[in-house]
Amino acid sequence: MSLILVTPLSVLPNMLRIYQPSHLISLLSPEFMIATPDDFPADRHLRLALHDIPEPVDGKVVPDEVHVAALLGFARGWDAKQPLIVHCWAGVSRSMASAFAILCDRSPRGDEHRIAREIRSRAPHAQPNRLIVRLADRLLKRNGAMVAAVEEMGPGIVVEEGVPVAFGLEELGL
């Protein structure tokens, strides 16, 4: 099942049980980072400890190229035979930006706007972290196309927590 699932932390246990993913990406603040779930292979759980901030702030871990390169490298190791779950605290910003980056990495240049529109249509609450998007755009050599696509999405509906959202690779043509 070639699915990327984006979810908030609060429903992660249910998502793991229901979807049986092969890979898991956790993007949480260092003080809230979770351990690898029981019976889940540690080598298939990427844990990125970073805050949901768009620029450096004293005492906070700002997303950087090392984080985004690790994210992209890990996702390239996913064979898409079982789902990949990406989560952050609320399932709105860090995880949506990461899913966008992974989807863009699996798509040809020029698909950035189409993917962003698909994210918006499935997740009205999505507010992808702009710094993660900028870093992914640079690493993927998209020359600002990813940034422009996310800006074109406009602001998401303000929520405290998002709902799980599935992105099927086949239905997206990836």
Instruction: Give the domain CATH number at 144.
Output: 3.90.190.10
Average pLDDT over residues 13-22: 97
CA angle 25, 160, 129 (to 5 degrees): 50
Residue 173 resides in a domain? no
Provide the pLDDT confidence category of residue 136 given band limits of 50, 70 and 90: very high
Residues 6+ apart with CB under 8 A from 38: none
pLDDT in tens, 83-101: 999 999 999 999 999 999 9
Task: Report the domain count for the chain.
Answer: 1
Residue 141 lies in a domain: yes
DSSP secondary structure of 84-98:
EEEEESSSSSHHHHH
Q: Report yes or no on 174 lying in a domain.
A: no
Mean pLDDT, the chain, integer: 96
User: Given this model, what pLDDT does residue 1 score?
Assistant: 61
CA separation for the pair 58, 128 (Å, rounded): 22
Would 151 be classed as within a structural domain? yes
> Does 25 have pLDDT greater than 90?
yes
Q: What share of the chain is helix, strand, coil (3-state, %, to 5)?
A: 40, 15, 45
pLDDT of residue 125: 97
Full residue range of the structural domain in which residue 69 is found: 3-168
Residue 37, in any domain of the structure: yes
The per-residue pLDDT for 86 is: 98
What does the pLDDT look like over 38-80, one tens digit per residue? 999 999 999 999 999 988 899 999 999 999 999 999 999 999 9
